[in-house]
Amino acid sequence: MTIDQAGVPEARPGPAFPEHEARVDDLRRQLTAISGEATVRLAKRTSNLFRSRAAAKHPGLDVSGFTHVLRVDPETRTADVEGMVTYEQLVDATLPHGLMPLVVPQLKTITLGGAVTGLGIESSSFRNGMPHESVLELEILTGDGRIVVATPDNEHAALFRGFPNSYGTLGYALRLKIVLEPVKPFVELRHVRYHDRDSYFRALAEACDSGEHDFVDGTVFGPDELYLTLASFTDTAPATSDYTWLDIYYRSIRTRRTDHLTVRDYLWRWDTDWFWCSRAFGVQHRLPRLLLGRRFLRSSVYWKAVALDRRFKIAQRLLKLRRLPPEETIVQDIEVPVGRAAEFLEFFEREIPISPVWVCPLRQRPGGVRWPLYELDPDALYVNFGFWSAVPLDPGERDGVHNRMIEAEVTRLGGHKSLYSDSFYAEDEFWRLYNGETYRELKRTYDPDERLLGLYEKCVRRR
């Protein structure tokens, strides 16, 4: 056992992963070298966050080495994984064993540590919850410099439960042990169209309760064009579609009643076109797709283009040159109870001119665990809505007006909003919605000197 600088015994993992231990020791040396007055950040070149941040004034922690799948155990259906492993890496390590994570977020470069501290969702979430609900053990570098191993029932259980939705403000996940589930080689999809909101969400709830499907999600193209996609594992397929190059998955929803994909292609069906956001880059036409090839048709490439646009304000300048009104970026995921889903969608279609919209049901996994910084009713089915675009601002409207309108409506309907993108809450409202009392207690325990940013400062003030 190691004793830290404050004389506190540290819970450390056993000797099973010596190379990982060496990387952890190097990270601690980096932290020691950072001035005590500096805010500690990660030195990351990429991110799947969609909120701007103030430029860092000091060197960050280099966690680029924490990209190893340490072990996949087919017998226990578990994996030990470092925090910066992407889901693409993880899936490629588990599928040869006939296994996959319980929830695989849609984009290949989302990291496991990022999905746990910042939440994630996918079409298995109606039965498996969010990624943090499949974690058995978390090794965390805390704000006060300790390395602790948090589990649901040890002395760091409060940190284990409070880590999801803390966005790196309590510490950084260095290693995670997660549960896996068995898969079959293929996934069979059925796209069912509905013509009104009420029948659509009734059918969605029935599909989630039936136990007949492994995956449920949906796509809304308009008030009378709503598709529910019901999918299940299968051992065989008459033929499989390929949406990794020339063909576009979301377009197929409107033209095909049934479809088959390999399990890997199903997991990444949204990544090739970043759902439908690739249309903003002009790459949904056949010629640019032929020229770019599979290598460049992926979310990580589009994200780099977005980062370049933010840096040089290219889109804003083009709008000004064309004498068009400025636009407000709306990139959000929210969820409301299924009984209020039709009400939210009616509001959204009336007030926010964005289409399509992604729909994904979500239910907390059984077991009664309370996740205090993002607490769901354990008995309720929620519906997540994802919408990612921009809308024009009317003369006199301030940037943020539409996002604030969405925040208010989600709160009114008893829902929640993910914090990976811009937020506009007043501070007292924010802490009421995200359990400020519990967060502050965890902050006092694991980052008493506030070497890491606070959650409000990071997510709303964008520091």
Query: What's the sign of the alpha-carbon dihedral 20, 23, 28, 34?
Result: negative
Q: How far apart are CA 115 and CA 92, in angstroms?
A: 17
The pLDDT of residue 321 is 80
- Nearest CA to 402 out of 356, 341, 347, 455 is that of 347
Average pLDDT of the chain is 91
- Alpha helix segments (H runs only) across 337-396: 341-351
User: What is the rounded average pLDDT of the residues 202-225?
Assistant: 98
Q: Is the pTM of this model over 0.85?
A: yes
Residue 347 has pLDDT above 60, yes or no: yes
Instruction: State the pLDDT at residue 43.
Output: 67
Output the six-digit token pair for 293.
């090839």
**Looking at per-residue confidence, does 379 or 3 come out higher?**
379
Residue 82 has pLDDT above 90, yes or no: yes
Note the pLDDT of residue 51.
53
pLDDT for 366: 87
Burial of 291 (0-12, 13-18, 19+ CB in 10 A): exposed
pLDDT higher than threshold 70 for residue 140? yes
Q: Are strands 225-234 and 215-222 parallel, antiparallel or unpaired?
A: antiparallel
Other CB atoms within 10 Å distance of the CB of residue 5: 10
Q: What pLDDT does residue 243 have?
A: 98
How far does Cα 62 stand from its chain's mean position?
Answer: 22
**pLDDT band with cut points at 50, 70 and 90 for residue 15:** very low
Give the number of C-alpha atoms closer than 13 A to the C-alpha of residue 215, restricted to the C-beta side: 26
What are the φ/ψ torsions at residue 440 (nearest 5 degrees)? Answer: -65, -35
The pLDDT score that the predictor gives to residue 49 is: 60
Residue 1 pLDDT grade (very low, low, confident, very high; cuts 50, 70, 90): very low
Closest CA to 130 of 109, 157, 103: 103
DSSP state of 61: B
* pLDDT higher than 70, residue 408: yes
Range name among 146-160, 204-218, 314-328, 443-457 with the lowest pLDDT average = 314-328
Q: Which of 167, 198, 160, 138 is nearest to 342 (CA)?
A: 198
User: Is the pLDDT assigned to residue 13 strictly greater than 80?
Assistant: no
- Please tell me which residue, 7 or 229, carries the higher pLDDT value: 229
Residue with token string 């990139």:
331
Residue 361 scores a pLDDT above 50: yes
Q: Given pLDDT bands bounded at 50, 70 and 90, which one contains residue 369?
A: confident
User: Which pLDDT band holds residue 14 (cuts at 50, 70, 90)?
Assistant: very low
The pLDDT > 90 percentage for the chain reads 80
